[in-house]
Structure formats: C-alpha cells, structure tokens
Structure 1
C-alpha cells in the first residue's frame, strides 16, 4: 500500500494539492508506519519483571 502512495512532496508539487490536504491524505500511512515501528521496538525490547500498562488511544 505505502509503496504505491505518492509522497507529500509529490502530492503538493505534482498533484498541486494544498499542504494541509496532502498531510490529511497521508495521515493513515504515517499511523501505519508509527505503529509498525512501535511494534518492532516493543518486540525487540528486553522483557522485564516490572509490568507497566501502555494505553493506546
């Protein structure tokens, strides 16, 4: 999905969108990338005996 989606630069310069519209369109892609990186770091983190609760909204 994200390999086919144009970058924000391309949306603004190539498709002549306003910057706020380009960011709004790209927001789901950013959320996917952030969640993937978070999951990667969480799985790579050492397991500790102290359990903390992480609330994701």
Structure 2
C-alpha cells in the first residue's frame, strides 16, 4: 500500500483478523498485533478519499 498515491480509493470496507487464536490462524503478541494494525490502518486512511459527495 505504501507505493499507492493518497486518496486513491473512495470507500474502504474491511474485516481484519482479530488475533483471537482461531485454529487456522497464527496469533501475535498483543503489542505486535497493535503495531501491525496501526500500520495498515494508517495506510488505509491515507488511501481513502476524504472528499464528500
């Protein structure tokens, strides 16, 4: 996402992994999970247009 230009998309809908220990997923230590979330959430915010229709 870091290589994409700002406000490229009009709408973001997401269902992130919740790090709750599902058998088919690896869980991260809480601090690592929070740091990872901060990074992708920041990028999604930057990529999503703030223009109002």
TM-score normalised per structure 2: 0.41
More helix by proportion, 1 or 2? 1
Query: Which structure is richer in relative contact order (CA contacts within 8 A, separation 6 or more)?
Result: 2
Larger Rg over CA atoms: 1
> TM-score by structure 1 length?
0.40
